Amino acid sequence: MKKAVLTLSALALALSMAACSEKPSAPEQVVAETSAAQSMDNVLLAEFTGPYSGVPAFDKMSLADLKPALEKGMELNLAEIDKIANNPEPATFQNTIVEMERAGSELDRVFTYYGIWSSNNSSPEFRKIQQEMAPIISAFSSKIIQNKNLFERVKAVYSSEELKSLTSEEQRITWMRYNGFARNGATLNDEDKKRYADINQELASLHTQFSNNVLADEENYVLYLNQDQLTGLPGSFVSAAAGMADIRDNKGKYAITNTRSSMDPFLTYSEDRGLREKVWNTYYSRGDNGDEYDNNELVKKILTLRHERITLLGYDNYAQWRLEDRMAKTPERAMDLMEKVWPAAIARVKEEVADMQAIADAEGTSITIEPWDYRFYAEKVRKDKYALDSDEVKQYLQLGKLREAMFFVAGELFNFEFTPVAEGKVPVFNPEVKVWDVTDKTSGEHIGLWYLDPFARQGKRSGAWATTYRSYTTFDGKQTVLSSNNSNFVKGPEGEPTLISWDDAETYFHEFGHALHFLSADVAYPSSHSGVRDYTEFQSQLLERWLLTDEVINNYLVHYKTGEPIPQDLVTKIKNASTFNEGFKTTEYMASAIMDLLYHTTDPAKIEPDSFERDELARLGMPKEVVMRHRTTQFGHIFSGEGYAAAYYGYMWAEVLTSDAAEAFAEAPGGFYDKEVGERLVKYLFSVRNAMDPEEAYRKFRGRDAKVEALMRDRGFPVTSND
């Protein structure tokens, strides 16, 4: 997480991580504020100690310490800020910008632990604290952004002759500091500043409530099946479902949880159409059930407040404000990309549905393909067209072997070596979390640690993500990296490996790409780790491409029982089917991305979420057989916080870069392991983080801007323009 003085985006991330779930392994009761934890002995505030330049004390974290630690951390940070703001000496880069980079270390450490409770070990007790503290943290953030003296000092450095003598990274972080103030209300009059701060506090509470409502629907809706309701489901899925039922005290049953990792395979394989419809409806109705956890009114309130806030700054709409410092720059450019790809995507859906309907008709089912049939019949088409059975592929996708494959790729491209850390040497927040020491293969230099938390459990938010507990910097003494990958794989039966789908394997590589982005950083200042949202997904998306390289396929995709390598004919089928179902995948994503832009470019007074979603998708020609990947009432990316708000398109923007960069490797003599292209990859696309403008960085790597035609080729869509 960034330094606390970058508060609006950093705290938004911390607060938005509330789209999480379930209870920690040992829930603790909140104690009175008079606890001794209020002192500086509070472990959540304390410097990291132990090996590897210090590590978080995850074994000592207590929920009783959280609120006092947050309060003390904010108090200490504000004192540092006041000292910087009221320094009688003229403002310089060293006494203003560098001091701001240094400030807030105690609060940063608190947010490391906060993130664990929010994302990995949530509980009702934590959520109560989270709901209470959200507006307080927002108010703290506003105090920094609206500190007039501080802004004047930042502005003085930004406008000074000194700026010209600074390094390019120092110039960039000075600009980011200035821009962060100017774009977040620092230039407003006192009355508007107060309203701006009030809106932020209100939004903080609403974002938290939104994510907790989605979580409630994920936790409250679990479908328990009997033995006779398992027809068509793979044995590995059945075993995992039995395990999920066991931990919920329903031994002898089979639990289908209301999460994507459970829903997706069930809809792919279950032969019970009625159950498929039930599971589909339950999943896509999260936050939209007309009960106490319904999010429709929250969405309207959030959009209304966001719009009011940006009008104070003089913008026409929220997306205009949000995209100003992104690669896209304007919502029109972002929408233009969507519009280039959308027609081809929905045209492909029609082809896919026709193929599925033909199979359904041949079976004499007398049905019309509905959304809950799509995955099921798509799998039949896959087998029919490509003779590719997803469950057969799964037998060669062992979680442990895939991890070894990722380590191999990291060694080839980044010269990293991963060595398991002995159990007990580094504290972890759950026994399933494992840790590796990351070193340079040549010099043996310690790079950092990599934590892996792979399995689903109660108290863990759904999905997969990467984060850092400490980022690489050198400005104040070298800090090594503490990175983490987190997933929700359904654990295999006791004594057997965990098998995952091809899509999940791609996601595994994707999130590891984020970790490599953290681990390969070579920047001086914390602010250089702040991400440009339509760029930060690029590096991780690109790493997915190494899953299909011969070196990985031939050495790490082995059958979980026999140990035999995956047959070449099955590999050929996988490659031939690489663009299979691309209409569905692209359309469900793009529907969410387009709706995000529409929500944030439309007057909220004209929006009723349910009808707006329905009407706008109809206007776009959304195929009835496909639904948004994230329906409005469960769209945590944009309504649980502001990190992806008006920016969900960024995945597609990043995919254009990904496809174009992948072609650079494909064209190189050494392919995806080409040394020269690999060196440029690390130098310009990974190590610089945000210390260089992303457009400039990409041009240095590729020699030109990325071209959308590469994306169209990747997806098997017609290319209508010339390179």
114 within a domain of the structure (yes/no): yes
Residue 443 φ/ψ, nearest 5 degrees: -95, -20
Q: Are 264 and 378 in contact (CB under 8 A)?
A: no
Residue 465 φ/ψ, nearest 5 degrees: -160, 165
Distance CA 646, CA 315 (A): 14
pLDDT at 105: 96
Binned at pLDDT 50, 70 and 90, residue 26 comes out as: very low
- Expressed in angstroms, the distance from the first to the final Cα of the chain is 39
Angle 143-145-146 from CA coordinates, rounded to 5° = 65
Residues 406 and 349 in one domain: no
Q: Is 70 helix (H, G, I), strand (E, B) or coil?
A: helix
Distance CA 557, CA 401 (A): 7
Distance CA 313, CA 304 (A): 15
Which residues, other chains included, contact 140 with Cβ-Cβ below 8 Å and sequence gap of 6+? 7, 11, 74, 77, 78
552 within a domain of the structure (yes/no): no
Query: Inter-axis angle of helices 502-519 and 399-414, to 10 degrees?
Result: 40
* Tens of pLDDT, residues 314-363: 999 999 999 998 899 999 999 999 999 999 999 999 999 999 999 999 99
Residues 230 and 149 in one domain: no
Q: Tokens 């050495």 correspond to what residue?
A: 555
Give the chain's radius of gyration (CA, Å). Answer: 25
470 within a domain of the structure (yes/no): yes
417 secondary structure, DSSP code: E
What is the torsion angle, in degrees rounded to the nearest 10, for the CA atoms of residue 73, residue 79, residue 84 and residue 87? -170
Q: Is 581 helix (H, G, I), strand (E, B) or coil?
A: coil
Q: What is the mean pLDDT of the chain?
A: 91
* Tens of pLDDT, residues 200-239: 999 999 999 999 999 899 989 999 999 999 999 999 899 9
Q: Tokens 């654990």 correspond to what residue?
A: 491
pLDDT (average), residues 238-261: 92
Distance CA 514, CA 2 (A): 16
Angle 165-171-177 from CA coordinates, rounded to 5° = 135
Residues 85 and 182 in one domain: yes
Binned at pLDDT 50, 70 and 90, residue 721 comes out as: low
Report DSSP letters for 655-711, one per residue.
HHHHHHHHHHHHHSTTGGG-HHHHHHIIIIIITTTTSS-HHHHHHHHHSS---HHHH
Written as six digits, the tokens of 687 are 């190590």
Q: Are 114 and 134 in contact (CB under 8 A)?
A: no
Binned at pLDDT 50, 70 and 90, residue 32 comes out as: very low
pLDDT at position 29 over 90: no
110 within a domain of the structure (yes/no): yes
Distance CA 144, CA 137 (A): 11
pLDDT at position 652 over 80: yes
pLDDT at 22: 29
- Residue 487's alpha-carbon distances to 141, 146, 196, 335, in angstroms, are 30, 38, 36, 31
432 secondary structure, DSSP code: T
pLDDT at position 543 over 70: yes
- Counting residues of the chain whose pLDDT is more than 90, the rounded percentage is 84
Residues 512 and 602 in one domain: no
Binned at pLDDT 50, 70 and 90, residue 476 comes out as: very high
What's the CATH code of the domain at 108? 1.10.1370.40
Q: Higher pLDDT residue, 456 or 672?
A: 672
* Tens of pLDDT, residues 368-378: 999 999 999 99
Distance CA 81, CA 104 (A): 9
464 secondary structure, DSSP code: -
- Residue 126's alpha-carbon distances to 72, 400, 464, 676, in angstroms, are 18, 32, 21, 49
Written as six digits, the tokens of 179 are 């821009």
Question: Taking Cα atoms as reference points, which of 467, 449, 403 lies closest to residue 120?
Answer: 467
pLDDT at 462: 79
Residues 206 and 96 in one domain: yes
Q: Which of 89-98, 259-268, 410-419 has the lowest mean pLDDT?
A: 259-268
Residues 277 and 177 in one domain: no
Residues 430 and 481 in one domain: yes
What is the torsion angle, in degrees rounded to the nearest 10, for the CA atoms of residue 579, residue 581, residue 582 and residue 588? -160
Question: Taking Cα atoms as reference points, which of 65, 74, 92 lies closest to residue 4?
Answer: 74
Q: Where are the beta strands (DSSP E) in 245-389?
A: 254-256
Q: Are 509 and 543 in contact (CB under 8 A)?
A: yes
Binned at pLDDT 50, 70 and 90, residue 39 comes out as: very low
Residue 162 φ/ψ, nearest 5 degrees: -55, -35
pLDDT at position 705 over 90: yes
**How many domains is the chain built from?**
4
- Residue 342's alpha-carbon distances to 355, 584, 592, 617, 717, in angstroms, are 20, 11, 12, 12, 10
Kind and range of the H or E run holding 131: helix 124-145
Q: Where are the beta strands (DSSP E) in 304-433?
A: 416-420
pLDDT (average), residues 277-284: 97
Distance CA 539, CA 514 (A): 7
Kind and range of the H or E run holding 453: strand 446-455
Q: Decide the pairing of beta strands 481-489 and 446-455.
A: parallel
pLDDT at 360: 97
Residues 156 and 257 in one domain: no
Residues 372 and 467 in one domain: no
164 secondary structure, DSSP code: G
pLDDT (average), residues 584-599: 97
546 within a domain of the structure (yes/no): no
Decide: residue 181, CB within 10 A, 0-12 exposed, 13-18 middle, 19+ buried: buried
Distance CA 205, CA 643 (A): 16
pTM of the model: 0.82
pLDDT at 490: 85
Other Cβ atoms within 10 Å of 39 Cβ, number: 10
- Give the residue numbers spanning the domain of 418: 399-530
Distance CA 98, CA 102 (A): 6
Binned at pLDDT 50, 70 and 90, residue 33 comes out as: very low
Distance CA 539, CA 502 (A): 20
Other Cβ atoms within 10 Å of 138 Cβ, number: 25
What's the CATH code of the domain at 590? 1.10.1370.10
231 within a domain of the structure (yes/no): yes
Residues 209 and 225 in one domain: no
184 within a domain of the structure (yes/no): yes
Query: Inter-axis angle of helices 66-85 and 105-115, to 10 degrees?
Result: 150
- Residue 672's alpha-carbon distances to 191, 343, 541, in angstroms, are 57, 31, 14
562 within a domain of the structure (yes/no): no
Distance CA 306, CA 655 (A): 28
Q: Higher pLDDT residue, 602 or 142?
A: 602
pLDDT (average), residues 629-649: 95
Written as six digits, the tokens of 505 are 């394997």
pLDDT at 174: 97
Kind and range of the H or E run holding 159: none
pLDDT (average), residues 590-609: 97
Residues 597 and 658 in one domain: yes
pLDDT (average), residues 694-719: 93
Q: Are 505 and 402 in contact (CB under 8 A)?
A: yes
- Residue 600's alpha-carbon distances to 302, 315, 370, in angstroms, are 11, 12, 30
Residues 183 and 250 in one domain: no
pLDDT at 531: 78
pLDDT at position 558 over 90: yes
Angle 309-182-321 from CA coordinates, rounded to 5° = 50
Written as six digits, the tokens of 257 are 């949880």
Distance CA 430, CA 12 (A): 25
Distance CA 653, CA 294 (A): 32
